[in-house]
Each structure stands twice: as structure tokens, then as C-alpha cells.
């Protein structure tokens, strides 16, 4: 937060939206952690309470973005990777779409936060990738050359992404295995939402599936496990999210973490390839 406020433009809407979403989702996570750790409530916030608060926060962010969009010439259309001019006009469904991106990204990072350094390492890679996306989307010449949608002013969000990378590095020093400091919901929910908001602002929402490929894997593994167990009373994985499955089959924790980081890097490179493969 301090780095962003020091080195970015304080009159830029996109910077404040990024900071605001990070703070609000972090506050939701803080309340959950506070109830668990201080109050001794084992469950913290219920899943319904947490999801409801996240939906309201996401809808508020989308509302602010659309309200001020004409001033900032923000186009609420959704662009598709690998296509030069194809974009979807969601109309009134754009707000639910933004909510889906923010809530999905936030909870996916939360599910990934199960091994020392796993979530923060993947978040750092994702933030670095979106630093590239925000810079090129905010530069009219580069955006025209790459034939991606230009978003005036979003280049300032590059500072926010770089601050995320720096904060992640600092946290990883203490969170690496065996961890001295743990992320908790205050970290995972806020960082996931931050990445989701940057994806929306840079008009690279769909690419988030690639950038956050590890997060998607983790979320899908949980959904498959739950659906399969409810239907057939059997498990696909020994334990979900999927990083726990590899623990159960005998992989050492550092091996799982580093291999997932490698996957995150591969996903990030695949996402960056969409800038040219159109």
C-alpha cells in the first residue's frame, strides 16, 4: 500500500480501485481470522457470510468502475485472447461478470494457501505477469502495435503490480518452508481479489484463467472432489485441494511447492504469448 501511494498517481481511479478492493477483501479475511484466532470461533465467518460480503464488495467495485467509466473512457466489453478484434458486450451482465472474476480469484488463492510459500509464490508470478499486461494496455503505441485494447491510465496500475511483487518477495522470506509467518484469509482473500481487479482493469479477464492456472487447478480439484463424492460417495483425489493429494501420495512439501511454482511460470508464459498470438 505504501509503495503504491508513494510512486503512483493519486488522481488515478484505477489505482484507488485496486487499493480499495485489496483493502475491502482483506478486511473480510481479517474478520474471519480474528474470529478464529482471537475469539476462538473455529469456523470464523460461515461460507455464506464470507461469500455474501465478497459479492457485495465485487458489485461495489464494478459499480464504481461503470459509473466513472465514461470519464476514463473505460470500455466494459470483455476481450478474448488469441483474437484481434473479437469482444463481448455483456451489457447488464458485466457487473455479475466482474463479481465472478473477483470472488473466483479471491477464493482460488485462498484454496491454494495450504503449503508454506505456495500461494504467495504463485501470486508473485501472477502479479509480475499483470505488470506487463497493465503496462502494454496503458501505452497507446504498444497497445496499437500488439492490437490489444488500449486502456488510458491503466499503466499506473503497473506500480501496484510491482508493489505486489515486492511485498510477495518480502513475505516469502518468512513464509518459505518451514514458515515463520502464515498468510491467513486476510492475505489470501485480498491478494486474490487484487489480481482479479487488475485483470479487469487491463481488459485481460479471460487470460486470468491462464495467469492463475495453478489457482484454477486448485479450485477445480475441490469442485470435482465435492461433486464426485456427493454423486458417487467416492473420492477422485486422496485429499483436496490437489496439493494435499500430492502430500498424501508421498511428495515432500518443498517438492510440491517448487513444482507448482514451475507450473505457475509456464502458465504465465502461456498467458504472455497471447499478446502476440492473435
CA separation for the pair 106, 114 (Å, rounded): 14
In a domain, 249, yes or no: no
Q: pLDDT by residue (tens digit) across 165-207?
A: 999 999 999 999 999 999 999 999 999 999 999 999 999 999 9
CB 132 within 8 A of CB 145: no
Q: Within a domain: residue 186?
A: yes
Domain count, the chain: 1
Q: How much is the pLDDT for 158?
A: 97
pLDDT digits (tens, 9 = 90+) for 103-150: 999 999 999 998 999 999 999 999 999 999 999 999 999 999 999 989
Cis peptide before 178 (omega within 30 of 0): yes
User: Higher model confidence: residue 44 or residue 239?
Assistant: 239
- The DSSP 8-state label assigned to residue 179 in this structure reads P
3-state secondary structure of 30: helix
Query: Which range of residues forms the domain containing residue 53?
Result: 2-208
Q: Does residue 254 belong to any structural domain of this protein? A: no
pLDDT of 39 higher than 80 = no
Rounded to two decimals, the pTM is 0.93
β-pair partners for 79: 87
198 within some domain: yes
Nearest CA to 79 out of 62, 63, 97 is that of 97
| Residue corresponding to grid cell 485429499 | 239
Within-domain flag for 257: no
246: in domain:
no
Position 110 in a domain: yes
CB count, 10 Å around CB of 113? 27
With respect to residue 112, please indicate whether it lies within any of the assigned structural domains: yes
Amino acid at each position: 500500500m505504501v509503495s503504491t501511494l508513494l510512486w503512483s498517481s493519486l488522481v488515478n481511479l484505477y489505482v484507488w480501485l485496486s487499493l480499495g478492493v485489496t483493502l475491502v477483501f482483506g478486511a473480510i479475511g481479517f474478520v474471519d481470522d480474528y474470529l478464529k484466532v482471537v475469539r476462538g470461533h473455529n469456523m470464523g465467518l460461515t461460507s455464506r457470510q464470507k461469500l455474501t460480503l465478497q459479492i457485495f464488495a465485487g458489485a461495489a467495485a464494478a459499480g464504481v468502475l461503470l459509473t466513472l467509466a465514461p470519464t476514463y473512457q473505460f470500455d466494459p466489453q470483455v476481450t478474448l485472447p488469441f483474437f484481434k478484434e473479437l469482444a463481448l458486450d455483456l451489457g447488464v451482465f458485466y457487473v455479475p461478470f466482474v463479481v465472478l472474476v473477483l470472488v473466483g480469484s479471491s477464493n482460488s488463492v485462498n484454496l491454494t494457501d495450504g503449503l508454506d510459500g505456495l500461494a504467495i509464490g504463485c501470486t508473485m508470478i501472477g502479479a509480475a505477469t499483470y505488470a506487463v499486461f497493465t503496462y502494454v494496455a496503458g501505452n497507446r503505441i504498444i497497445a496499437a502495435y500488439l492490437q490489444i485494447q488500449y486502456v488510458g491510465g491503466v499503466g499506473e496500475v503497473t506500480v501496484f503490480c510491482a508493489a505486489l511483487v515486492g511485498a510477495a518477495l518480502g513475505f516469502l522470506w518468512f513464509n518459505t518452508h518451514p514458515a515463520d509467518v502464515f498468510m491467513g484469509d486476510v492475505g489470501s482473500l485480498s491478494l486474490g481479489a487484487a489480481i482479479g481487479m487488475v485483470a479487469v482493469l487491463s481488459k485481460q479477464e479471460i487470460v486470468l484463467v491462464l495467469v492463475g492456472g495453478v489457482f484454477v487447478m486448485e479450485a477445480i480439484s475441490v469442485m470435482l472432489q465435492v461433486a464426485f463424492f456427493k454423486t458417487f460417495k467416492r473420492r477422485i483425489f486422496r485429499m483436496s485441494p490437489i496439493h494435499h493429494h500430492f502430500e498424501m501420495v508421498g511428495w515432500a512439501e518443498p517438492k510440491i511447492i517448487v513444482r507448482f511454482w514451475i507450473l505457475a511460470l509456464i502458465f504465465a508464459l502461456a498467458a504472455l504469448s497471447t499478446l502476440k498470438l492473435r
